[in-house]
Amino acid sequence: MRFALALRGSKVVAMTTTSPVARPLIDGFGRRVSYLRISVTDRCDFRCVYCMAEDMTFLPKRDVLSFEEIEALAGAFIARGTTKIRLTGGEPLVRRDIMQLVTALGRRIGNGLEELTLTTNGSQLAKYAVQLQAAGVRRLNVSLDTLDAERFRAITRRGRIEDVMAGIEAAQAAGLAIKINMVAMRGVNDDEIEPMMAWAHGRGMGLTLIEGMPLGEVDIDRADSYLPLRELHERLARRYTLTRLDTRTGGPARYVHVAETGGTLGFITPMSHNFCESCNRVRLTATGQLFLCLGQDDQVNLRDAWREGGAAGLDAALDHAMRIKPKGHDFVVDRSGREPAVARHMSVTGG
């Protein structure tokens, strides 16, 4: 048994890693895929301006994978060495009977799976926090881009910040570690970076800043709102003592410790400095399409592979997926190209 460091809120703890598997998922560039993000629905109760259009057309429910199918696909990944699964959406907690799936996947923790987590907008957390903890979830990412109620409503187009705050409080009371994800947007919320950091760290939560990405047609002007996090890092470093951490949580964030607040600050920089050389993740959509890169359209239909070929067909499809996984993405935001880099909205693959 081996040990690795992981982030729990703003604390670094030790966690065990499993023994080597017979046929790990290794792509053509030697990168081992150990992290699966599963979008359980493309639906959401918010319409965040950088994620969705105002009027969205969602998948017919008949096209969405059943929980049994999701569990079968997840099991195939676990058998091939995937140790971390994150449930996303849309908003995962709006899917009916979602706890059936969370509970089923939670039973696999300690049997190949090391961690089951969620990314959520927090609107339903007050309802589900205790159940999530009981099912084996130990930490959550909560997407929150502002602390101002009116600005929150403008960004989400329909959300209530009071619901999110109640959800965060319930999650912490249930013993769940929380990390706040904040999309940094120039002229939208860049004046709130420091207040958000002070608020999150003051409540024992980490904060990760994310650059906006050109996915799908949305109403926000991406060229105007794009804020390189390198610029933001330099701004913060003039006021705060930032010490680089080697902490990894399985995703693309790079972390620093902020001496003045005692908390952890993460940076996800798909635009200004991509993290493709260490990519260890793939994304499964609610219809069973496996996207091999957030910024590319390469995909494999795992739903058909499973339905038509069973376990053997699924295993062969995973081998094919590793052969075609691209080296990386090439996101660009400028006024020379009006079309998004990728046509699908963020809600399809869950970020």
Q: What is the pLDDT of residue 273?
A: 54
Predicted confidence (pLDDT) at residue 121 exceeds the cutoff of 70: yes
Closest CA to 261 of 209, 190, 204: 204
For the residues 319-346, what does the mean pLDDT come to? 64
Q: Kindly report the pTM of this predicted structure.
A: 0.85
Which range, 5-19, 162-176, 234-248, is most confident?
162-176
Report the Cα 267 to chain-centroid distance in Å.
Answer: 13
Percent of the chain with pLDDT over 90: 69
| Per-residue pLDDT at 50 | 86
Structural domains for the chain: 2-349 (3.20.20.70)
pLDDT score for 350: 64
Band (333; pLDDT cuts 50, 70, 90): very low
Residue range 72-85, pLDDT digits in tens = 999 999 999 999 99
Contact call for residues 85 and 116 (beta carbons, < 8 A): yes
Binding-site residue numbers for [4Fe-4S] cluster are 44, 48, 51, 276, 279, 293
User: What's the confidence (pLDDT) of residue 351?
Assistant: 53
The model's confidence at residue 21, banded by pLDDT at 50, 70 and 90, is confident
CA separation, residue 262 to residues 7, 8, 81, 206 (Å): 14, 14, 35, 10
What are the structure tokens assigned to 187, written together? 């002229």
Torsion-angle region of residue 90: left (phi > 0), alpha (psi -120 to 50) or beta?
left
3-state secondary structure of 113: strand
Question: At CA 166, angle to CA 162 and CA 167, rounded to 5?
Answer: 115
> In this predicted structure, what is the pLDDT of residue 236?
97
Residue ranges for the known binding site are 37, 44, 48, 50-51, 86, 90, 119, 143, 179, 213, 276, 279, 281-283, 293
One-letter identity of residue 166: A
Read off the pLDDT of each residue in 282-290 and give the average, rounded to a whole number. Answer: 96
Please write the tens of the pLDDT for every residue from 27-57.
999 999 999 999 999 999 999 888 888 888 8
> Are 324 and 340 within 8 A, CB to CB?
no
Q: Tell me the binding residues for S-adenosyl-L-methionine.
A: 50, 90, 143, 213
Q: Which residue has the higher pLDDT, 55 or 196?
A: 196
171 pLDDT higher than 90: yes
| CA 253 and chain centroid, separation | 11
The end-to-end CA distance of the chain, in Å, is 32
Give the pLDDT mean for 113-117.
Answer: 98
Q: How far apart are CA 270 and CA 184, in angstroms?
A: 13
Binding residues for GTP: 37, 86, 119, 179, 281-283
Average pLDDT, stretch 216-230? 68
Query: For residue 183, how many other CB atoms are within 10 A of its CB?
Result: 24
Q: Mean pLDDT across the chain, nearest whole number?
A: 87
**pLDDT at 327 (0 to 100):** 83
pLDDT of 88 above 60: yes
Least confident of 72-76, 211-215, 232-236, 331-335: 331-335
pLDDT, residue 286, reads 96
Q: Is 55 helix (H, G, I), strand (E, B) or coil?
A: coil
* pLDDT category of residue 221 using cuts at 50, 70 and 90: low
Residue type, 282: V
Which is more confidently placed, 251 or 205?
Answer: 205
Q: Are 121 and 171 in contact (CB under 8 A)?
A: no
3-class SS at 327? coil
